[in-house]
Amino acid sequence: MNRLTTLAAVATAAASIVVLSAASAAGAGTHPSTTAAAKAARAVLRDMTANLPVTDQVVPGTRHHVRALTKVDYYNWSGYADDTSRGNTYTKVSGRWAEPAITCPTKETQVAIFWAGIDGFTSSTVEQNGTIAECYQGTAFYYTWWEMYPTNFIQVVGSTVKPGDHIAASVVRTGTSYKLNLTDSSRSGDNISKTETCTTCANTSAEWIAETPSQSRGYTPLPDFKTWTVSSASVTSGTTGSINAFPDDQITMVGAGGIVQPGYPLATPGALNTAGTGFSVKWDNSY
């Protein structure tokens, strides 16, 4: 969902997750045995927050340039963002992925969020949608969601998502109107189609991100999703192009201290493909 000096700073800027759907989903080879288990899993999500990215969330001293690409470490994001360093503003972002299968070897709650959206990289406004993968009591649950400034509540919509489902997500801005679309080609009940209005959104970045949300005790451990692969990524800023058609940033998720020190990878993005329309994020560690 959606940069930081301390965990407390992030928590105060976070957005609450609101679960709307009553349906549950089977995990990677596992199946919720009771309705009660599915309800309990959703209840855990209600107590979590999606970290609002603010400009100090970048890990200190990690921003550097490699040719035209800026590389940076964050505590809760991994993927790519197009920024406003050349004055760009953005009107459309889209991408596709197959929902990763997560493994849940213990009963520890772990959550990963995958999304495409506008804003968040250099502003606190966010307009985005995607999927959630949650480990709860050793079982995997999957959902779709959207989020829109200024309320910044993550709205969980569909909970029949399964690993391997083909997801297409986009955010399209026309003036102050934002169209958020998500399609699960296998299960229409997971689809999202929302039109929202924002008169103060910055429109200064576009993103394709794997994220770990937070809870009262800090960041949620990141479940082992093996690899998240984005394809058919497109972005519009005056003209429409690939991720690297505009100033782009490669973001690595690193540990926030405590159990591990900053710089220890949690999720690592690979290079863009030759067309600049896709990449993969590899899971490294949970915390």
pLDDT digits (tens, 9 = 90+) for 100-122: 999 999 999 999 999 999 999 98
| Higher local confidence (pLDDT), 24 or 224 | 224
Distances (CA, A) of 62 to 66, 137, 199, 246, 253: 12, 36, 33, 21, 11
Domain limits for position 33: 7-283
Q: pLDDT tier at 9 (50, 70, 90 boundaries)?
A: very low
Q: Using one digit for the tens of pLDDT, what is the confidence trace for 234-272?
A: 999 999 999 999 999 999 999 865 555 556 899 999 999
Q: Is residue 134 part of a domain?
A: yes
Residue pair 129/171 in contact by the 8 Å Cβ criterion:
yes
Q: Is residue 1 part of a domain?
A: no
CATH code: domain of residue 117: 2.60.120.700
Q: Using one digit for the tens of pLDDT, what is the confidence trace for 163-207?
A: 999 999 999 999 999 999 999 999 999 999 999 999 999 999 999
Q: Is residue 2 part of a domain?
A: no
As for how many domains the chain has, the answer is: 1
Element (H, E) at 145: strand 139-148
Q: Is residue 273 part of a domain?
A: yes
Pairing state between β 64-66 and 69-74: antiparallel
Q: Using one digit for the tens of pLDDT, what is the confidence trace for 72-94?
A: 988 889 999 999 999 999 999 99
- The whole-model pTM stands at 0.85
pLDDT at 140 over 50: yes
Tell me the sheet residues that pair with 197: 177
Q: Is residue 97 part of a domain?
A: yes
pLDDT > 70: what percent of the chain? 77
Q: Is residue 138 part of a domain?
A: yes
